[in-house]
């Protein structure tokens, strides 16, 4: 049986459609590789099935590796525990009062690590509505002080 170029294109489109049902963003690279092999086969119809499969496999692996190594290198699902030193000193507004042995909540104008409101602690009592700055990051809790 001779594999036609449009078989590859249909298989690629089917894989791209499967990506809509299974959103892991990996099938898209296999689908794009299949479409690329279909286009290549339309231009060079004398390619053997072994060469076609080899091109599809190598192109798929290259695209997946490129995606995970280059484009998605530092993207994580959660940012807890990944705070950088640039957050120290950020100014926020207390939405709930905080005391030495009582948690409060601080709201920021722009989201910090994906959230506008964070639980916080302080060494002194600070009333709600006061402006505070981040002094330390302790796990998923912010230690604040009056600004």
Q: For residue 7, what is the enclosing H or E element?
A: helix 5-21
Is-contact 101 123, C-beta < 8 A? no
Q: What is the pTM of this model?
A: 0.52
**pLDDT for position 37:** 97
Which class would CATH give 85-146?
mainly beta
Strands (E) across 3-147 are located at 91-96, 104-112, 115-121, 131-138, 141-146
- Averaged pLDDT score across all residues of the chain: 88
**pLDDT for position 13:** 96
> Domain residue spans in the chain?
5-71, 85-146
* Cα–Cα separations (whole angstroms), residue 86 to 28, 90, 112, 135, 145: 36, 8, 11, 11, 16
For a pLDDT cut of 70, what percent of the chain falls above it?
Answer: 89
Q: How confident is the model at residue 73 (pLDDT cuts 50, 70, 90)?
A: low
Q: What is the mean pLDDT of residues 60-66?
A: 93
Angle at 143 between CA 134 and CA 81, to 5 degrees: 90
DSSP state of 12: H
User: 80 versus 109: which is more confidently predicted?
Assistant: 109
């Amino acid at each position: 049986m001779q594999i036609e170029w449009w078989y590859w294109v249909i298989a690629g489109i089917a894989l791209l459609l499967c990506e809509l049902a299974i959103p892991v963003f990996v099938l898209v690279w296999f689908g794009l590789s299949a479409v690329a092999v279909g286009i290549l086969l339309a231009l060079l119809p004398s390619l053997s099935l072994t060469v076609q499969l080899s091109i599809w496999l190598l192109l798929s692996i290259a695209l997946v590796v490129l995606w995970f190594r280059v484009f998605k290198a530092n993207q994580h699902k959660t940012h807890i525990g990944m705070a950088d030193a640039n957050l120290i000193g950020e100014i926020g507004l207390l939405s709930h009062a905080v005391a030495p042995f009582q948690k409060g909540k601080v709201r920021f104008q722009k989201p910090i690590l994906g959230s506008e409101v964070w639980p916080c602690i302080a060494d002194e009592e600070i009333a709600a509505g006061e402006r505070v700055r981040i002094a330390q990051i302790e796990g998923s809790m912010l230690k604040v002080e009056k600004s």
